[in-house]
Amino acid sequence: MTEIRIEASRAYSVMIGEGLLSRCGELAAPLVEGRRALVCAGERVFPLYGETVMDSLRRAGFTPFACRYPAGETAKTPQTLLSILESMAECSLTRSDAVFALGGGVTGDMAGLAAALYQRGVDCVLLPTTLLAAVDASVGGKTAVDLPSGKNQMGVIRQPRLVLCDTAAFATLPPDTLAEGWAEVVKTAFLTDGPLRELLLSGRAEKELEETAAACVRVKSALVALDENDRGQRRLLNFGHTAAHAIERCSGYSIPHGRAVAAGMAIMTRAALAKGWCERETLDTLLSLLRRFDLPERCPFSARELLAAAETDKKRAGERFTLVLPRRFGECFLLDTDRDGLGELFTLGL
Ligand code: GLY
């Protein structure tokens, strides 16, 4: 088991290893004062791991309750958020109790926001079951639901009490869902030199999931420690994400986040190459990694469609965009640009 300490406004541990879901009660008990626990999970995940988590909580002296909701990004709405808040009230959760968010990024974001709002904040223990949530969404305290105007438009940054990544859960992921996690791993590897690059380039990453997830969490933890509120260097973690959010939106969320991030990184890297900001080798490395994980490098939308979606997403007409562009595999930079600049990059990158 690997434990990484995240030094944010509230410090907490991310533990990564096999079998952690069945130990979540004993690991959370010393950190949570109350003994009522609401386990939040989507309809797909609860049947897989809900009882394991509830049993573990009971063994540690908690009284667990379950809150289930429809799976997927289309359920990440204020309505589902309200239903979680109502469940918290119905099971008489108090401020000293805790929410256990069991699932992927959607559950972590939404249950994390419910925990932040209920009675002005109760503890949240994140139990990511996807590679994507383990390497990205569960670290750094971002919580949100989507609004009709775009993704993650309603949310706060509030750090969890504890994150437990059970690597055994990745074994039950459908191949496409696992691949989405690899998109975020590749993204993280593009941000910094270090062990993650070697893990990916040597082909060890797929076999060494704990080491790979830990390497990603270390990169992210350094950026979160520098810039918890996402006003500076943390935004490097958005490599591929401006295009990705536009792709997701244009597709009515039928293209999932990780696949959209893959296409978004390819768009930005082709644009960077066309601008002379990176070498051909950078694009080749990215494309070979995307192909290895069966991830897309193109999207079916035009630059005009993506630009319209990006503007609506942030309600940004007349405002500026901060984009992330690669200099090489292991180094990206932030670029502040306007609508026309973004449109040009989308056109060059498609
Ligand atoms: N997912 C990017 C971040 O947490 O900043």
Query: What CATH number does the domain containing 103 carry?
Result: 3.40.50.1970
Q: Cβ distance 281 to 317 under 8 Å?
A: no
Pocket of ligand 1 (CB under 6 A): 136, 140, 142, 230, 234, 237
**Which alpha helices (H) appear in the chain, and where do they start and end?**
24-28, 51-59, 78-90, 105-117, 131-132, 175-189, 195-201, 209-226, 241-250, 257-274, 280-292, 303-314, 339-349
Q: Cβ distance 326 to 284 under 8 Å?
A: no
Rg (CA), the chain: 19
Ligand 1 atom nearest the C-alpha of 235 is 5
181 lies in the same domain as 290: yes
34 lies in the same domain as 117: yes
111 lies in the same domain as 220: no
Which of 110, 140, 170 lies at the terminal end of a domain, its last residue? Answer: 170
Mutate-to-test residue for ligand 1 from 142, 151, 152, 216, highest number of ligand atoms within 8 A of CB: 142
123-128/162-166 β-pairing: parallel
For the four alpha carbons of 175, 181, 184 and 188, in that order, the dihedral sign comes to negative
Distance in Å, CA 241 to ligand 1 centroid: 10
Q: Give the phi and the psi of residue 151 in degrees, each rounded to 5.
A: -75, 145
Q: What residue's CA is closest to ligand 1, atom 2?
A: 237
Distance in Å, CA 5 to ligand 1 centroid: 17
Ligand 1 atom nearest the C-alpha of 224 is 5
Distance in Å, CA 59 to ligand 1 centroid: 34
Which of 146, 170, 194 lies at the terminal end of a domain, its last residue? Answer: 170
223 lies in the same domain as 300: yes
Which of 170, 189, 214 lies at the terminal end of a domain, its last residue? Answer: 170
234 lies in the same domain as 157: no
Distance in Å, CA 140 to ligand 1 centroid: 7
Angstrom distances, CA of residue 300 to CA of 158, 297, 341, 342: 35, 10, 21, 18
126 lies in the same domain as 208: no
261 lies in the same domain as 331: yes
Question: Can you say how many angstroms the Cα of residue 134 is from the centroid of all Cα atoms in its chain?
Answer: 8
* CA–CA distance, 169 with 131 (Å, rounded to integer): 9
74 lies in the same domain as 111: yes
The total number of structural domains that make up the chain? 2
pLDDT tens track for 210-232:
999 999 999 999 999 999 999 99
pLDDT of residue 315: 54
Distance in Å, CA 237 to ligand 1 centroid: 5
pLDDT tens track for 266-317:
999 999 999 999 999 999 999 999 999 999 999 999 999 999 999 876 655 4
pLDDT of residue 149: 85
Domain that holds residue 151: 2-170
Q: Cβ distance 38 to 65 under 8 Å?
A: yes
Q: Give the phi and the psi of residue 207 in degrees, each rounded to 5.
A: -85, -35
Distance in Å, CA 195 to ligand 1 centroid: 20
Closest CA to 64 of 75, 49, 78: 49
**Torsion angle of the four alpha carbons 280, 285, 289, 292, in this order, in degrees rounded to the nearest 10:** 80
pLDDT of residue 284: 98
199 Cβ contact partners less than 8 Å away, ≥ 6 residues apart: 205, 208, 211, 212, 215
Ligand 1 atom nearest the C-alpha of 230 is 5
138 lies in the same domain as 120: yes
For the chain, the average pLDDT equals: 96
Ligand 1 atom nearest the C-alpha of 184 is 1
Q: What residue's CA is closest to ligand 1, atom 3?
A: 237
Residue 335 pairs in a beta bridge with 323
- Split at pLDDT 50, 70, 90, the class of 264 is very high
Distance in Å, CA 58 to ligand 1 centroid: 33
Mutate-to-test residue for ligand 1 from 180, 231, 237, highest number of ligand atoms within 8 A of CB: 237
Distance in Å, CA 235 to ligand 1 centroid: 7
pLDDT of residue 312: 78
78 lies in the same domain as 203: no
Using DSSP's 3-state secondary structure scheme, residue 66 falls into: strand
Ligand 1 atom nearest the C-alpha of 234 is 5
192 lies in the same domain as 324: yes
Q: Which two tokens stand for residue 10?
A: 């509230």
pLDDT > 90: percent of the chain: 96
Domain CATH for 337: 1.20.1090.10
82 lies in the same domain as 210: no
Ligand 1 atom nearest the C-alpha of 141 is 4
pLDDT tens track for 122-168:
999 999 999 999 999 999 999 999 999 888 999 999 999 999 999 99
DSSP conformational letter for 194 = S
Q: Cβ distance 78 to 154 under 8 Å?
A: yes
More confident residue, 311 or 186: 186
Ligand 1 atom nearest the C-alpha of 142 is 4
Closest CA to 183 of 232, 153, 216: 216
